[in-house]
């Protein structure tokens, strides 16, 4: 499978422009043989746009932008994972990502479960669905996370235990947190022995400067593709047999002793 990761500058508040940019990028990725295109967190609207704009631009998962993206995916013949503000019941807005396949079908929607800092908490409700169900796509078992979610090792481990062989992480990672892009995501891939794609912004958006450094990490933690600080379309070829071989050579999942780790999931710290 050939995976494309789109690292780009944010274009805040310009949904129509971002849809046009997505169409051009999807066609470009397809021309280079990509099967799946990953875009950054909140790609549709921009991330650092304020609570009023997030509320105004939020859409349901089957809203008008999703319908346009379904047509883009179908025309390009490539699956697309994109970030957007999702409007749900009771006036809630989530930081979400959605995967639409090359036939224009919505395969899965994920809401960010770990909100980062004052900005995230001022804009979004926290996703509460900790469903480990994976997305089945072309023989792959896909897990979805968003940005800060990947910094919690429990998140990636639960996906690995559910059978993930590829985890997709749209992000809006900013300076000075280069180490997340250069170290943390590679460690997550290695300790769980799956592929991990990390798709970030570059350049600045308001008072935030994004660090770029998008990547695709292999199950042994080495980067198959690594972006710099500027806009770039990464491409990487993935093989599920590499996941199987890695798990046979170093059976981390098999050698776990979960009876020792109960405190990791204890809501009450006194249980530690």
Average pLDDT along the chain: 96
Q: How many CA atoms lie within 13 A of 134 on its CB side?
A: 22
Q: Which of 5-14, 152-161, 177-186, 260-269 has the lowest mean pLDDT?
A: 260-269
In a domain, 178, yes or no: yes
Model's pTM, two decimal places? 0.96
Question: From the CA atom positions of the chain, what is the Rg in Å?
Answer: 18
> Sheet holding 135-137: strands in order across?
135-137, 140-144, 166-170, 195-199, 215-217, 223-226
The first and second tokens of residue 269, run together, are 């710290």
In a domain, 81, yes or no: yes
The mean per-residue pLDDT over the stretch 146-150 comes to 98
In a domain, 44, yes or no: yes
pLDDT value for 130: 65
pLDDT tens digits for 166-177? 999 999 999 999
CATH number at residue 18: 3.60.110.10
The mean per-residue pLDDT over the stretch 184-210 comes to 98
Strand positions, DSSP E, the chain: 2-9, 36-38, 79-87, 93-100, 106-111, 135-137, 140-144, 166-170, 195-199, 201-202, 204-205, 208-209, 215-217, 223-226, 232-237
In a domain, 270, yes or no: no
> Would you please indicate which residues are annotated as catalytic (active-site) residues?
41, 112, 147
In a domain, 183, yes or no: yes
Tell me what percent of the residues of the chain surpass a pLDDT of 90. Answer: 93
pLDDT value for 141: 98
The total number of structural domains that make up the chain: 1
In a domain, 69, yes or no: yes
pLDDT tens digits for 220-242? 999 999 999 999 999 999 999 99
Q: Is the pLDDT of residue 202 over 80?
A: yes
Domain assignment of residue 52, given as a range: 2-265
pLDDT value for 272: 41
């Amino acid at each position: 499978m050939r995976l494309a990761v789109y690292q780009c500058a944010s274009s805040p508040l310009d949904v129509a422009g971002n849809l046009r940019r997505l169409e051009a990028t999807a066609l470009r990725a397809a021309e280079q043989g990509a099967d799946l295109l990953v875009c950054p967190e909140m790609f549709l609207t921009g991330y650092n746009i304020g609570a009023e704009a997030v509320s105004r631009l939020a859409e349901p998962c089957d809203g008008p932008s999703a319908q346009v993206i379904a047509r883009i995916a179908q025309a390009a013949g490539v699956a697309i994972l994109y970030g957007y503000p999702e409007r749900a019941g009771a006036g809630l807005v989530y930081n979400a990502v959605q995967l639409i396949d090359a036939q224009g079908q919505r395969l899965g929607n994920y809401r960010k479960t770990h909100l980062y800092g004052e900005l995230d908490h001022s804009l979004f409700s926290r996703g509460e669905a900790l469903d480990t169900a994976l997305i089945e796509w072309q023989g792959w078992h896909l897990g979805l996370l968003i940005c800060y979610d990947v910094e919690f090792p429990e998140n990636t481990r639960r996906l690995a235990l559910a059978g993930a062989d590829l985890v997709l992480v749209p992000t809006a990672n900013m300076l000075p947190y280069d180490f997340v892009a250069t170290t943390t995501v590679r460690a997550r891939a290695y300790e769980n022995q799956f592929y991990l794609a990390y798709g970030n912004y570059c350049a600045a958006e308001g008072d935030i400067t994004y660090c770029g450094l998008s990547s695709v990490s292999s199950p042994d933690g080495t980067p198959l593709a690594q972006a710099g600080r500027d806009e770039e379309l990464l491409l990487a070829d993935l093989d599920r047999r590499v996941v199987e071989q890695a798990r046979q050579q170093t059976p981390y999942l098999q050698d776990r002793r979960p009876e020792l780790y109960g405190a990791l999931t204890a809501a009450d710290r006194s249980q530690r």
